[in-house]
């Protein structure tokens, strides 16, 4: 393709002792060198400056926002902690309320009950909620050790929680686990003084009792209560040593 004369610039270069030299330069090339390239350079510099300003502004904004965010999260955490504490206190008061037996009116004789009164059970007697698996009984050195797995056998596999009370009865009397759970005021056992538990599938249980010499047979009683005092399991297990 031939370049038109109007699109060219002619230059003559004179040097001492040499004949002049003749050059043709395209105007488009000159415009690219002296106009377009500087414009591209200026745009690149402006873009870099804009990016630096944006990054700096974002950094300053983040530095200002972070303390406010941390302060907000700290306040929410304190509120949640306070609410959890209040809920635990309410739950403990509710458990104590259900665990406290009704006081008999003055002048009326009420025979001593070993376990305090509990609310009417909302669970059906035929509904199986817990089971005892892998029971192991070891008697040695005047002590009886019990080990078993408390199993959740609910149909819907819901989480169970509450309290565990164990007792053994032999010829010498009755022993309880946890020990010293009988109230000295009314000789009753409140269900919420048992060993607390929460389980989805299995919960290991270990307990030990003093064992009278020459004990040949005994009865192991397992009582599992809900957190509101409803009986989840009441089982008597005869055992020969």
Helix (H, G, I), strand (E, B), or coil: what is residue 49? Answer: helix
CA distance 117 to 228: 12
Domain final residue, candidates 21, 51, 85: 85
The answer to whether residues 64 and 138 belong to one domain is no
Averaged pLDDT, 99-125: 49
What is the residue-wise DSSP string for 65-116? HHHHHHHHHHHHHHHHHHHHHHHHHHHHHHHHHHHSPPPPPTT------SBP
* Cβ atoms of residues 224 and 233 within 8 Å: yes
The answer to whether residues 140 and 226 belong to one domain is yes
Domain final residue, candidates 85, 105, 120: 85
Averaged pLDDT, 16-32: 73
Average pLDDT, the chain: 78
Considering the domain boundaries, does residue 125 fall inside one?
no
**Backbone phi and psi for residue 140, each to the nearest 5 degrees, phi listed first:** -160, 150
Which single residue is written with the structure tokens 């389980």?
A: 199
Helix (H, G, I), strand (E, B), or coil: what is residue 56? Answer: helix
Considering the domain boundaries, does residue 138 fall inside one?
yes
Report which of 203, 128, 133 is spatially closest to residue 162, judged by C-alpha positions. Answer: 203
* Cβ atoms of residues 220 and 236 within 8 Å: yes
What is the band of 241 on the pLDDT scale with cuts at 50, 70, 90?
confident
Higher model confidence: residue 95 or residue 201? 201
Higher model confidence: residue 222 or residue 83? 222
The answer to whether residues 141 and 233 belong to one domain is yes
Q: Is the pLDDT of residue 18 over 80?
A: no
Considering the domain boundaries, does residue 74 fall inside one?
yes
- The token duo for 109 is 């004789």
The answer to whether residues 163 and 231 belong to one domain is yes
The answer to whether residues 163 and 72 belong to one domain is no
**What Å distances lie between residue 59 and 56, 71, 72, CA to CA?**
5, 19, 20
Q: How many domains, in total, are found in the chain?
A: 2
The domain of 26 spans: 13-85
What is the band of 181 on the pLDDT scale with cuts at 50, 70, 90?
confident
Considering the domain boundaries, does residue 6 fall inside one?
no
Considering the domain boundaries, does residue 95 fall inside one?
no
Q: Is the pLDDT of residue 115 over 70?
A: no
Residue 190's domain is classified under what CATH number?
Answer: 2.60.40.10
| Residue 236: partners with Cβ closer than 8 Å, 6 or more residues away | 219, 220, 221
The answer to whether residues 141 and 230 belong to one domain is yes
The answer to whether residues 75 and 138 belong to one domain is no
Domain final residue, candidates 69, 85, 101: 85
> What confidence score (pLDDT) does residue 4 get?
54
Considering the domain boundaries, does residue 103 fall inside one?
no
Considering the domain boundaries, does residue 113 fall inside one?
no
Q: Is the pLDDT of residue 151 over 60?
A: yes
């Amino acid at each position: 393709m031939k370049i038109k004369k109007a699109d060219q610039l002619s230059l003559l270069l004179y040097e001492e002792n040499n004949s002049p030299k003749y050059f043709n330069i395209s105007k488009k090339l000159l415009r690219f060198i002296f106009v377009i390239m500087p414009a591209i350079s200026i745009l690149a510099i402006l873009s870099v400056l804009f990016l630096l300003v944006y990054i700096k502004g974002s950094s300053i904004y983040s530095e200002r926002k972070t303390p406010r965010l941390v302060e907000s999260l700290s306040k929410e955490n304190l509120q949640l902690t306070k609410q959890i504490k209040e809920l635990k206190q309410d739950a403990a008061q509710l458990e104590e309320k259900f665990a406290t037996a009704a006081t008999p009116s003055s002048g009326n004789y009420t025979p001593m009950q070993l376990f305090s009164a509990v609310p009417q059970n909302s669970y059906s007697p035929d509904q199986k909620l817990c089971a005892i698996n892998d029971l192991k009984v070891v008697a040695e050195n005047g002590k009886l050790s019990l080990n078993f797995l408390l199993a959740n056998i609910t149909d819907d596999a819901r989480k169970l929680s509450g309290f565990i009370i164990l007792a053994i009865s032999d010829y010498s009397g009755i022993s309880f686990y946890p020990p010293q759970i009988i109230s000295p005021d009314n000789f009753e056992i409140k269900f919420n003084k048992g060993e607390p538990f929460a389980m989805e599938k299995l919960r290991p249980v270990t307990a030990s009792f003093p064992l009278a010499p020459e004990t040949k047979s005994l009865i192991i009683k397992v009582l599992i209560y809900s957190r509101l005092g409803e009986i989840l399991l009441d089982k008597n297990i005869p055992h020969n040593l």
